[in-house]
């Protein structure tokens, strides 16, 4: 007979008929319910050693591997099941899910389509949503946007156009072109700037990497154009199931924090890093980060000559986000990327409360300060909230608000913003956004406003 020891492992002292595997499988299911996955694995593997074709035992074992993140072992079990049951829509769809999580986007799309051909009306909606999702991830995306940006000293019109070209599974080439047309408000002056950002983007389960050269041309009004060649890299990695690290580096890239920085042909070089620790199923996220950068701009030297002047800035951040409410499974339809064509633009239904503490230290040269006034020291504590809701898969709304105080300058600041998104189809999305703020945590003083409208489409 079969006995269960204190560890839950199976012991056999007699030959057991195959029909007696049913109570063993029931016992394994109970262990899975209790999240005793190691014991459940031992029990199921003991059953399959005697009865390799038992469907229920194999499906439970695949679920154990899915729950423990053993994606390669899960894929192996589900692939064998799909080969043995080619007409079962549920098994085919399960294989599609593990292929999707493993990064085999094209294989997942093919499998989902096969499952759709086998599925009845009861499961068609779920599989159709999966097909839409994979279609979006394997399609070429094009898009563009137009926006206005203003601060106390300058106004700018920003135009962006770009595309994302799939190369392989979880690998695409993003190409974005940005044009600025800027005019001064407190002092006469105008300029144009063009930035070209080709980026190779690699995404894997829990990790991402984006890297590419950066080309910028600044054209001051009445002056000679200036050109720069640089690079940018950013990435994230899961260091632990509850810890994520992000890094970013810029080498001679366009400094476009404000319209005024573009007016003065601003460039930046620097690096930053952040660490995120999450708990309670990602309802609580604690973060900390540091960064440093060197800023340069064109300023007027004695004799009316334009020359570059520099400033150095160090930044620190710490804070936490608490998801006070969320409604799983309600997100805007489609797999559309952000305006840089690098990362997915996801809008869930959720309310998040946030706290941030910022530290900024700036060391501008005298000529730099004549063109742009950066606070030499800022210590900001801010409370904010973001509320987003997707009442229908085609419509999404987000509202943002925050208030803070700079204890060094004894200055209060606030910011508000809202976005409206419309996705008439899974392959088409429109976005309308507006933000305004009295202060910027990187050291800029004065009110800043930005309005933006964009459209992205999968071909």
Residues 79-113: pLDDT tens digits?
Answer: 999 999 999 998 999 999 999 888 888 889 899 98
Q: Which of 102, 117, 137 is the last residue of a domain?
A: 137
Q: Residue 448: left if φ>0, alpha if ψ -120 to 50, beta else—which one?
A: beta
pLDDT over 80 at 3, yes or no: no
CA atoms of 99 and 114, how far apart (whole Å): 14
If asked whether residues 318 and 229 sit together in one domain, one would say yes
In tens, the pLDDT along 327-377 reads 987 788 888 999 999 998 888 899 999 999 999 999 999 888 888 888 889
In tens, the pLDDT along 430-448 reads 999 999 998 766 666 678 8
If asked whether residues 159 and 62 sit together in one domain, one would say no
* Domain tally, the chain: 2
Rounded alpha-carbon distances, angstroms, from residue 368 to 224, 295, 305: 20, 9, 14
Which residue range(s) make up the domain with 58?
2-137
E runs forming strands in 114-266: 141-151, 154-168, 171-184, 190-204, 207-220, 226-240, 243-254
If asked whether residues 69 and 189 sit together in one domain, one would say no
If asked whether residues 322 and 271 sit together in one domain, one would say yes
| Lowest mean pLDDT segment, chosen from 55-59, 296-300, 404-408 | 296-300
What CATH number is associated with residue 286? 2.40.160
| Lowest mean pLDDT segment, chosen from 128-142, 202-216, 241-255 | 128-142
CA atoms of 434 and 415, how far apart (whole Å): 11
Tell me the average pLDDT across 145-157: 94
pTM of this structure:
0.81
pLDDT over 50 at 2, yes or no: no
Q: Which of 108, 137, 166 is the last residue of a domain?
A: 137
Backbone angles phi, psi at 450, to 5 degrees: -150, 130
Q: What is the CA radius of gyration of the chain?
A: 27
If asked whether residues 167 and 131 sit together in one domain, one would say no
Contacting residues for 214 by C-beta, under 8 A, at least 6 apart? 195, 196, 197, 228, 229, 230, 231, 232, 250, 251, 252, 253, 254
Residue 123 pLDDT class (50, 70, 90 cuts): low
pLDDT score for 387: 97
């Amino acid at each position: 007979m079969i006995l269960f020891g204190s560890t839950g492992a199976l012991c056999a002292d007699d030959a057991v008929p195959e029909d007696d595997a049913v109570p063993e499988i029931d016992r394994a299911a109970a262990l899975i319910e209790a999240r005793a996955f190691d014991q459940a694995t031992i029990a199921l593997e003991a059953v399959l050693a005697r009865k390799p074709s038992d469907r229920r035992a194999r499906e439970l074992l695949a679920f154990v591997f899915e729950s423990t993140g053993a994606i390669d072992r899960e894929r192996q079990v589900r692939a064998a099941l799909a080969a043995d049951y080619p007409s079962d829509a549920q098994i085919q769809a399960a294989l599609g899910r593990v292929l999707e999580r493993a990064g085999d986007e094209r294989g997942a799309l093919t499998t989902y389509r096969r499952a759709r051909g086998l599925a009845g009306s009861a499961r068609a909606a779920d599989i159709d949503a999966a097909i839409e999702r994979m279609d979006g991830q394997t399609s070429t995306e094009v898009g563009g946007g137009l926006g206005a940006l203003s601060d106390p000293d300058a106004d700018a019109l920003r135009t962006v156009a770009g595309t994302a070209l799939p190369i392989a599974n979880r690998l695409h080439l993003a190409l974005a072109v940005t044009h600025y047309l800027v005019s001064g408000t407190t002092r006469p002056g105008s300029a144009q700037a063009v930035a070209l950002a080709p980026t190779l983007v690699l995404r894997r389960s829990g990790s991402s990497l984006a890297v590419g050269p950066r080309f910028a041309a600044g054209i001051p009004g009445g002056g000679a154009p200036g050109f720069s060649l640089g690079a940018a890299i950013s990435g994230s990695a899961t260091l632990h199931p509850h810890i994520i690290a992000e890094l970013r580096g810029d080498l001679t890239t366009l400094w476009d924090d404000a319209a005024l920085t573009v007016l003065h042909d601003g460039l930046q070089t620097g690096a930053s890093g952040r660490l995120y620790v999450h708990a309670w199923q990602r309802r609580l996220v604690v973060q900390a980060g540091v960064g440093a950068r060197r800023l340069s701009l064109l300023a007027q030297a004695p004799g009316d000559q334009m020359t570059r002047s520099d400033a150095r800035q160090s930044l620190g951040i710490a804070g936490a986000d608490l998801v006070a409410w969320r409604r799983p499974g309600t997100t805007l339809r489609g797999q559309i990327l952000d305006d840089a064509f690098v990362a997915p633009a996801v809008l869930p239904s959720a309310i998040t409360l946030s706290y941030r503490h910022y530290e900024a230290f700036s060391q501008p040269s005298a000529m730099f300060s004549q063109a742009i006034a950066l606070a030499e020291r800022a210590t900001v504590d801010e409370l904010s909230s973001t509320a987003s809701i997707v009442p229908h898969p085609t419509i999404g709304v987000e509202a943002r608000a925050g208030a803070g105080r700079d204890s060094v300058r004894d200055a209060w600041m606030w910011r508000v913003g809202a976005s409206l998104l419309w996705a008439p189809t899974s392959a088409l999305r429109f976005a309308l956004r507006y933000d305004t703020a009295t202060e910027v945590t990187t050291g800029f003083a004065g009110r800043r406003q930005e309005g933006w409208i964009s459209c992205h489409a999968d071909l």
